[in-house]
Chains A and B, each alone.
Chain A
């Protein structure tokens, strides 16, 4: 059922650096691509989401870049902070359907 492939599995970034996480999908019927953030002991929480009619969406320090032809999308965290240390999941869904998640990226931001 692996329809969303995520990389890297883990990432270490220095404070103030840029964190980049990549995802690739297979199903061209997907029309919604969110990123979720999960802290230990908590459920995932929506961070930012994009639809395929735009190539980029920015919210504060978080940016999604979307490449429809390559069937890839990525999360960029600018000016990474220790508080950003968490597990990040990309996901995708068809219209009004369930979310399918990637395997996650464990991000550690070192002070």
Chain B
């Protein structure tokens, strides 16, 4: 199966530490999205890439958060100086952007972050 893969699936860290999540999208997909989901809420948009270009960042994304997609393939999301409020599920999704259309987003199973 060549779905969206996220690692690690779970991360427990102490407040103030840095964490990095990796997302490997479906190989032919040119768009990659990061969302954050807290318990009982819908996914909140964080940022997205088309190939290696970061096209949009949410105002939710503080300067402690940085995302990269260096070669237009996998992506990393780094959170520096973690806070307890960062505890959430971080979801990655990929899609094939077609002209004039929002393609279907395929989600990974997420990386759950717990900040103690």
Question: What is the interface of chain A, defined by CB distance below 8 A to chain B?
Answer: 1, 6, 31-32, 34, 41-46, 49, 89, 91, 93-104
Contact = CB atoms under 8 A, between A and B. Distances in A.
Given A32-B102, A89-B43, A104-B41, A98 B109 contact: no
Interface residues of B, number: 26
B18 to A, nearest CB: 24
Contacts of B35: 101
B85 interface: no
Top-7 shortest CB links A-B: A43-B107, A101-B42, A32-B102, A93-B102, A101-B43, A89-B42, A104-B42
Interface in B75-111: 91, 93, 97, 100-102, 104-110
Majority-rule SS of B interface residues: loop
Interface of B: 4, 33, 35, 40-45, 48, 56, 58, 60, 91, 93, 97, 100-102, 104-110
Majority-rule SS of A interface residues: loop
B64 to A, nearest CB: 19
Contacts of B56: 98
A76 B56 CA distance: 33
B104 A44 contact: no
20 contacts: A1-B44, A32-B101, A43-B4, A43-B107, A43-B109, A49-B104, A89-B42, A93-B102, A95-B102, A96-B97, A96-B101, A97-B102, A98-B33, A98-B45, A99-B45, A101-B35, A102-B42, A103-B40, A103-B42, A104-B40
